Structure 1
Amino acid sequence: MLPSKHSRILTNLPWLGLLLLIILSISFLLPVLPNDFWWYLRLGQDIVTTTNIPLVDTYSSTVFGQPVSYPMWLSAVILFVLHQLGDLTAVVFARGLFISAFYTFLWIICIKKGAPGWLATLLTLVCALAGANNWAVRPQMFVYPLFGFALYLFSTTFGNKEKSDNEFDDEYLKENNQTNEFSNKYYWLIPIALLWANLHGSVIILFFLAGPFFLFFQRNKKFFFVMALAFLATFINPRGPMLWLETGQFIQASGIQFSQEWKPPVNAGWQMNLFFMWLLAFIPMVAYSTKKLRPYEWIWLLGFGWMALSGVRYVIWFLALLLIFSCWLMQGILKKNTNAFKFQLIPFNITILVILTLLPLSLLPGIRENWWKQSPDVILKDTPVDAVKWLKAHPDLPEPIFNDYIYGSFLIYALPERPVWIDTRFHIYSFQHWENYLSITNAEAGWFEKLKEEDVGTIMLDKTSQKKLIDEIKGTSNFCDFYEDDQSIIFSKCE
């Protein structure tokens, strides 16, 4: 007979298959947003071709030569290699793989904490839907599974001694599915920290988990030793211990306040509606559940909750904790149904899981076009592909170029010979630079003088977000429109 901790997962595999069917389908159908992906692709290309990580900016005409740091260098390389191997099909497939791995870890945690399959699947699906705004193709997607794996280690580790089925069941009922015995599994935190430090600059989040776990639960020398080794492992990166200093500088950069993802979330849109409803529903869960959270779990909840309510980019991390804690608390509210149907045929369960997981592959870009005539575009229509092609064919237009900031990302990738005026790397541009950009974009008083001071020769604008500026430019005799399509317009100095 299989140990209880394994049979719980195996008998619920069809539920996992249903969850992955939905998550993979959504992740394969979501378009590649133009905001960040393209400049990461260019960065990866530069690193691979030069075998060096850039230390100064070469993508912008306005901060050209200034020091920059790219802690996400490995993610950029991976994105470039994926794009080289399989174009956007491989990139989108990788997104689906990493996103689904993240939610699979969370689902397993819920199952191993005793949640019935239907409840774990339902709440994990709500968690995924509420956090789908954070599924953009960018370095964060590579560290989501690392966060999930770390939560798995902290939430489901039982020490090194194998327990019998009865002991395992008793532990669910009495000890919140954990012991404070040290487990060798915690050594996994070291490679997690090493990878995280080279994939994305948010490795401090790992220690936001490990710190309270050590102080309020796993207080022994071995775990502290593992934490110390994990911290030292973060020094194994191209910038060494400077990574931590640069992380602090990044958070304090004045330019990031102009980014929407650094602003507090608002209850607008169905995904944020789900998030805030869940947050409110969590209060009666805590009040009426017979299950209780441990002190370190409360610290996680309050700490990550404060982060999520301070910036949209942190919502997905907090949702993961809401999911795990909700699955646990709901077991103290719902009546346990001992007669509930169970999928006892393990080979059948595995077959169902494989089939449901493979079905979404037909939705991948490059495949879906073969059977779906009106399939969604893999690149968002806001991406100025045609406009940049035209601009590339007209190198005679004067520099520098003033551009929509989102267009800057694609320009960096597709037209590297024309440094951009601004792009989505918010932290490298000063507060004043962003103020000037918004003043020009909104055609405020003095907009033309600002362009004249920069000696701008070509202007590339978004017809939706910069309509007022376009109307103002058309009313002058200094710039003439040379190109226009449904989304973009290009002006240059009149001859």
Structure 2
Amino acid sequence: MKPIKFQLTIEHLWGLAALVGIFVFVNTHPIRPHDFWWHITIGREIISTGQIPTIDIYSYTANGQPYPSYQMFWLMEIVLYELFNLGGPALVIFIHSLVICSAYVIIFWICKQLSKSWRIAAFGAIFAAALGLNDWNVRPQGITFLLASLFLLAIYEYRKYRKWGWLAVFPLGMLVWVNSHGTFLIGLVLMGIWLGQTTWDGIQLRNFDENRTTKRLVLTASIIFGITTLTCLINPRGLGIINYIKTLTGNSVVQNLVTEWAPPTFNNLMGTIFLLGLMGGAIVLALSPQRPNIIQIMTFLVFGLLGLKTSRGSVWFGLAMAPILAEHISSIVNQLQTVERRPMNLEGSRTLNIIFAIVIIAMGLLSLPWFKSALPLPQAKAGLVSEETPVQATQVLLKENPTGRVFNSMSFGSYLIWAAYPQYQVFVDPRIELFSEKTWLDYLNISNASVNWETLLNNYEVNILMLSPVEQPALVEAVLESGGWELLYKDTSAFLFRHK
């Protein structure tokens, strides 16, 4: 028997371009200031003290207050800190890119298995990526996309081949998930939908009670769902994790002030992408000659509603729906090809295909963080650390060492926690739910240069201002006009003032 020779075709280039494109995008995305720095600070504290902190010590407005989220992210905080300690921002970005890209490689593979088409699989990966690209900043959540993809792969593979090894993915994956991020419930939702489909398949059989195979499948899915649910309790909070989720999702400050938690609208790019994706998904399911099954209908409804409720649900809709859309698009395409009976040339020139593949792979290699300084990237993509991060302003702050408390832009708080503590504590930072509603209202009034902004600063005994000209332009202008503040430093990202 002659061995099958692999021939690179245009079809393969679609898949390669889609996946390398995702890799390049994440590789060239700098570390933004909002979340990364405070997370690695906690990772450093956990390693140095040997225990997970329980209260805040990094701000003066919530000092001593309990912060349960430390126990939610601890595993990935250690990982991120160790990576940063080992190889700096470049290694962190590279590993983060591998994690994110691996998630979409898995989605691509599932799409390919269901559609039997590299081109449609590429579309599925791009669909999922488009709905998630706003969530790819370096932070603990990154690992959850890979875990969700593994859950989906295990569900599809077990349903097809019935191999018991895939069932181990669920409890083992959940053990990592529940100690890394609060979205672990997504894993249970995916499993619950699978259990619902398995049960429905059994009910549809007339001889369900006598069909041992079907009963065994339902029992197996139920047992592994139960084991995985119990695995959720293997975390520092135990059963308390349930109250944590309730508190976080019901926090009025988080719901009202964080744009990521707001419902999607056509007023911004990511909201538009999600709403178009939702409508497009509905159209594909409606036009498909293949009838959607329970898993597909429930996935569309559950994750569609999640995405409509909060913009943070968009990425999960993309990951869960991509394989489903790939399968139904394949059915539509096959029907059209049967009607038109026009063969498509999917191979192209072998030489050109190889050249294009080399170029695509070379682009992926050139995008590695260690080569980034040599690339002609736009300012928003330049550097390993985002230009929004007040690196130079913080260095000046530590050098000048003015006395007093700092009022800082919220987005600067994370980096100040990393670089300026214990010399300085922050006013607020991206740990949104830590601070009281009054603190946030005062922050907004000061940042918007309300009539009483100086009185509010005096009430907090603030003597130093580190402001963002992008996020707080009114306050920067008011401070410059007041005459009561000395400008110590300014650049495109930050203004640093000391009270005269």
TM-score bracket relative to the smaller structure = 0.7 to 0.9
| Structure 2 residue 439 is matched with structure 1 residue 441 | no
Instruction: Output the CA distance in 2 between the equivalents of 1:158 and 1:378.
Output: 42
Are the equivalent residues in 1 in contact too, given 2:15–2:119 (CA < 8 A)? no
Check whether the contact 1:31–1:380 (CA below 8 A) recurs between aligned residues.
Answer: yes
TM-score (norm 1): 0.86
Question: Is 1:474 the equivalent of 2:480?
Answer: yes
Q: CA deviation at 1:473?
A: 2.3
Aligned AA (2:412) = Y
**What TM-score results when the alignment is normalised by the length of structure 2?**
0.86
Range that drifts further, 479-488 or 265-274 = 265-274
Q: Residue 185 of structure 1 aligns to a residue in which SS? A: helix
1:101 corresponds to? 102
Instruction: For 1:293-372, list aligned pairs within 5 A.
Output: 293-335=292-334, 356=360, 359-370=363-374
Q: Tell me the residue number matched to 2:209.
A: none
Amino acid at match of 1:194: L
**Worse-matched range after superposition: 85-94 or 263-272:** 263-272
1:437–1:186 CA distance, 2 compared to 1 (3 A): same
Distance change in 2, residues 1:191/1:342 (3 Å): farther
Query: Structure 1 stretch 350-359 or stretch 419-428: which is displaced more?
Result: 350-359
* Cα separation, 2, equivalents of 1:227 and 1:144: 20
CA distance in 2, matches of 1:426, 1:488: 21
**Which of residues 226, 229, 244 is equivalent to 2:227?**
229
| Cα drift, residue 130 of structure 1 | 3.6
Mapped contact 1:262–1:312 kept (Cα < 8 A): yes
What is the CA-CA distance between 1:370 and the residue it aligns to? Answer: 4.7
Aligned partner letter, 2:498: S
Provide the C-alpha distance between the structure 1 equivalents of 2:358 and 2:229, rounded to a whole number of angstroms: 38
Q: Which residue of 1 aligns with 2:207?
A: none
The residue that corresponds to 1:178 in the other structure is none
CA distance in 1, matches of 2:372, 2:316: 31
Map of 1:75-86 to 2, 5 A cutoff?
A: 75-86=76-87
8 A Cα contact 2:33 2:386, kept in partner: yes
Deviation per residue, 1:114-170 (Å, 9 max, x gap)? 34111111232233134211111111111101101111122332465xxxxxxxxxx
- Map 1:121-200 onto structure 2 (within 5 A): 121-158=122-159, 183-200=164-181
Paired with 1:335 and 1:222, the residues of 2 have a C-alpha distance of: 35
Distance 1:433 1:301 in 2: 39
Residue type matched to 1:294 in 2?
N
Alignment partner of 1:489 is 2:495: yes
2-structure distance, mates of 1:297, 1:306: 14
Identity of aligned residues (%): 25
Structure 2 residue 419 is matched with structure 1 residue 414: yes
Correspondence 1:287 to 2:266:
no
Between the two proteins, the alignment pairs up a number of residues equal to 468
CA contact (8 A) 1:113 1:156 kept: no
Aligned to 1:377: 383
> How far does the alpha carbon of each residue in 1:350-402 deviate from its partner, in whole angstroms, 9 at most, with x for none?
9998995564132122223356698822222111110000001122x122111
Would you say the 8 A contact 1:159–1:183 is kept in 2?
A: no
Contact 2:104 2:129 in 1 (8 A): yes
Letter in structure 2 aligned against 1:121: A
Q: Does the CA contact (< 8 Å) of 1:112 and 1:156 recur in 2?
A: no
Corresponding residue for residue 206 of structure 1: 187
The equivalent of 1:427 in structure 2 is 433
Equivalent position amino acid for 1:36 in 2? D
Question: Structure 2 CA distance, aligned partners of 1:198 and 1:357?
Answer: 35
Q: Residues 67 and 190 of structure 1: is their aligned pair in 2 closer, same or farther, counting only changes over 3 Å?
A: same
Give the SS at the match of 1:44: helix
Unaligned runs of 5+ in 2: 200-216, 348-352
The two structures, once aligned, show a CA RMSD in angstroms of 3.1
Tell me if structure 1 keeps the 8 A contact 2:123–2:326.
no
Higher helix share: 2
Give the AA of the match of 1:261: E
Q: Structure 1 stretches of 5 or more lacking a match?
A: 161-180, 344-348
The partner residue of 1:249 within 233, 247, 253 is: 247
Deviation at 1:456, TM superposition (A): 1.1
CA contact (8 A) 1:301 1:318 kept: yes
User: Is the partner of 1:335 in helix, strand or coil?
Assistant: helix
For residue 104 of structure 1, report the CA deviation from its aligned partner. 1.0
- The letter for the 2-side match of 1:434 is W
Matched-pair contact (CA < 8 Å) for 1:115–1:327: no
Aligned-partner SS, 1:332: helix
1:40-51 equivalences in 2 (<5 Å): 40-51=39-50
Q: Distance in 2 between matches of 1:432 and 1:355?
A: 55
Residue aligned with 1:157, SS: helix
Q: 1:482 touches 1:492 (CA, 8 Å); kept in 2?
A: yes
